[in-house]
Amino acid sequence: MSVLPYVIAAWLFLIGCYGLATSRNLIHAVGCLAVCQSSTYVLLLAIGYRDGGTAPVFSDITPGSRPVVDPVVQALTLTDIVIGATVTALLLSLVIQVAKRHRTVDPDELSELRG
């Protein structure tokens, strides 16, 4: 159990890279990039977890009464997710532009066009 979250994070990153390298469709590649990104969320939150800890929110628990998990990594992950979505939007709009100009979203055909 103690290494499973780290293993899953590594697996998500590697499988996402595999998808990026073998993708025949740029929209599919953007989806694979989202899988790569999710590996960072799992890794960060796994590092911050504490056995028996609860969420770092003190609106309904007395401070100091229970151990809490690490809020710093949670804050990092939180912004990471929203930024990830907007960057995905930027990439998808680039893909739409590529489709408009070159009439294809296959990266292999695109590199043939350039050559």
Partner 1 sequence: MADDLPLILGLVLVAVAGTATVLVRDPVRQSFLLSLLGLALATVFLLLQAPDVALSQLAVGSALTPLMVLLSVRKVRRKARSERREEHE
Partner 2 sequence: MSMRLRLCVLAVGGLGVAVLFVMACFDLPAFGGLWHPYGDRAVHAALARHTANTVSSVNFDQRAFDTLGEESILFASVVGTVTLLRQTHGEDRLPPEPVRVAPPVRRYALIALPVTLLIGLYVIAHGQLSPGGGFQGGVVVATSLHLLYIAVDYRALERIRPVGMYEVADAAGEAAYLLVGAAALLTGAAFLANFLPYGTFNTLSSGGTVPLLNAAIGVEVACGVVVLLARFLDQAVEIESEGRDDEAEART
Letters for 26-55 (x = contact with partner 1 by CB under 8 A, - = none) are -xx-xxx-xx--xx-xx--xx-xx---xxx
47 token code pair = 């590092």
Query: What b-and-e string marks burial along 37-51, b requiring 16 or more CB atoms within 10 Å of the CB?
Result: bbbbbbbbbbebeee
Q: Does 5 bind partner 2 (CB under 8 A)?
A: yes
21 token code pair = 């390298």
AA letter at 107:
P
- Give the binding site for partner 2 (CB under 8 A): 1-6, 10, 13-14, 17-18, 21-22, 46-51, 55-59, 63, 67-75, 78-79, 81-83, 85-87, 89-90, 92-94, 96-97, 100
